[in-house]
């Protein structure tokens, strides 16, 4: 479970103990939607880039290859070869963002599969059963993701339904963990705070779900198009009402600057597709800012992507070679760029933890919060 080690302002340094190992926080989860990092990285590569947690998606694994088959294979850990913590997203976001046709009822959601169009029903119990079959370290509760901006009355009704769904998730999760054939009988459960960009709804919802004494709490429904200032305002409003002895997870965030700002407001855990997605387009993070390796000025640049980085890519290859691979559309380009960006994010979290440990987080914040999101000068 979560143990708070130190605070520097509102920034929290902690440890999150699970059956699959201890996560040092603040931490970043590397997104492997279909049990693999897009860009050709395996579980063994994740070891080399200092990944602590792999995040997989319930919806995608349910529709292809199927959670029942993965259970037969011994669960996600045996299936992928990854021995450290795995968090599975509930599928709620994908249900509400990918499905073109859907019908939301109290029981759950009926929608069309984005692959073959077949009708699928998913509710709290179904999401818990799928995640139990996957045997992840942490399961996420099934929630309704509401678009921003949303009308207040609908956002309020949605929060109330998400609370009722969370109670059903907890009951089913407890039942599944007690089964003799559970892949992971020690699976943990996180609840998700919703409420769009309305402070009062967010606060009331966090107060309600905190009563359920879950293993952790996430802030969902942000980083979906609202201004960053609204996101930061919501985090600051909700943080005092989140249980201090439980881990706090901000879903789907974000840029290095977003992470640095959110840690300052008391967030412990993050995930985002940005480092891998941007890498696949040649946009690479460095300690001096972002570079676009497609630019002609890197054609004869023999320096590593980042002279301050000791990732496997920066130790062995030049910007010129990486650019050549990108321009030639070689598969290796995707692999090397994704490896570098994920290593950068994991290293960012290490430096954040060190700054909190040393009581210098304000200095780290001032030096990096703007620079790391900006375009590098060279």
| pLDDT, tens digit (0-9, with 9 covering 90-100), for 26-42 | 999 999 999 999 999 99
Q: Which helix (H) or strand (E) holds 69?
A: helix 67-72
Contacts of 37 (CB under 8 A, 6+ apart): 30, 31, 45, 46, 276, 338, 342
Confidence of residue 100 (pLDDT cuts 50, 70, 90): low
Beta bridge partners of 25: 14
- The answer to whether 130 touches 76, Cβ cutoff 8 Å, is no
DSSP annotation of 215: S
With 0-12 / 13-18 / 19 or more C-beta atoms within 10 angstroms meaning exposed / middle / buried, residue 375 is exposed
pLDDT of residue 99: 57
The catalytic residue among 8, 45, 67, 89 is 89
Core vs surface per residue 141-170: b (16+ CB within 10 A) or e: bbbbbbebebeeeebbebbebbbebbebbb
- Kindly tell me if the per-residue pLDDT of 162 is higher than 70: yes
Q: Please give the domain boundaries of the chain with CATH numbers for all domains.
A: 2-272 (3.20.20.105), 282-373 (no CATH)
Catalytic residue flag (residue 89): yes
**Average pLDDT of 88-97?**
82
Catalytic residue flag (residue 143): no
Confidence of residue 147 (pLDDT cuts 50, 70, 90): confident
Where does residue 213 fall: left (phi above 0), alpha (psi -120 to 50 degrees), or beta otherwise? left
The catalytic residue among 215, 268, 271, 306 is 271
**What is the per-residue pLDDT across 170-225, written as a single tens digit (0 to 9) for each?**
999 999 999 999 999 999 999 999 999 999 999 999 999 999 999 999 999 998 88
In whole angstroms, give the CA distance from residue 374 to residue 371: 5
Beta bridge partners of 188: 138
In whole angstroms, give the CA distance from residue 140 to residue 46: 22
- The answer to whether 305 touches 333, Cβ cutoff 8 Å, is no
**What is the per-residue pLDDT across 296-349, written as a single tens digit (0 to 9) for each?**
999 999 999 999 999 999 999 999 999 999 999 999 999 999 999 999 999 999
């Amino acid at each position: 479970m979560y143990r708070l080690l130190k605070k520097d302002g509102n920034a929290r340094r902690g440890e999150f103990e699970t059956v699959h190992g201890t996560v040092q926080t603040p931490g970043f989860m590397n997104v492997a939607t279909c049990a693999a990092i897009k860009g050709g990285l395996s579980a063994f590569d994740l070891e080399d880039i200092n990944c602590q947690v792999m995040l997989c998606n319930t919806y995608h694994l349910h529709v292809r290859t199927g959670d029942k088959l993965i259970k037969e294979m011994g669960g996600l850990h045996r299936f992928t070869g990854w021995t450290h913590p795995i968090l599975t997203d509930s599928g709620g976001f994908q249900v509400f963002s990918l499905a073109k046709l859907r019908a939301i009822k109290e029981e759950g959601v009926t929608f069309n599969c984005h692959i073959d169009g077949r009708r699928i029903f998913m509710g709290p119990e179904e999401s818990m059963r799928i995640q139990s079959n996957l045997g992840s370290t942490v399961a996420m509760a099934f929630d309704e993701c509401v678009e921003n901006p949303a009308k207040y009355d609908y956002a309020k009704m949605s929060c109330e339904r998400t609370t009722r769904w969370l109670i059903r998730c907890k009951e089913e999760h407890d039942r599944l963990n007690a089964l003799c054939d559970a892949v992971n009988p020690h699976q943990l459960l996180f609840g998700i705070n919703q409420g769009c960009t309305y402070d009062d709804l967010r606060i009331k919802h966090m107060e309600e779900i905190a009563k359920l004494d879950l293993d952790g709490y996430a802030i969902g429904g942000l980083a979906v198009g609202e201004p960053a200032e609204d996101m930061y305002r919501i985090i600051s409003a909700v943080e005092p009402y989140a249980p201090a002895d439980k881990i706090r997870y901000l879903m789907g965030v974000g840029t290095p600057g977003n992470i640095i700002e959110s840690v300052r407001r008391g967030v412990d855990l993050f995930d985002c597709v940005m480092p891998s997605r941007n890498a696949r387009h040649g946009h690479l993070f460095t300690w001096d800012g972002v570079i676009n390796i497609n630019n002609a000025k890197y054609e004869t640049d023999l320096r590593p992507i980042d002279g301050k980085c000791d990732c496997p890519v920066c130790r062995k290859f030049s910007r010129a070679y990486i650019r050549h691979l990108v321009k030639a559309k070689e598969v290796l380009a995707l692999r090397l760029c994704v490896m570098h960006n994920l290593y950068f994010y994991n290293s960012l979290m290490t430096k954040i933890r060190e700054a909190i440990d040393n009581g210098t987080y304000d200095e780290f914040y001032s030096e990096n919060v703007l620079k790391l999101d900006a375009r590098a000068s060279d």
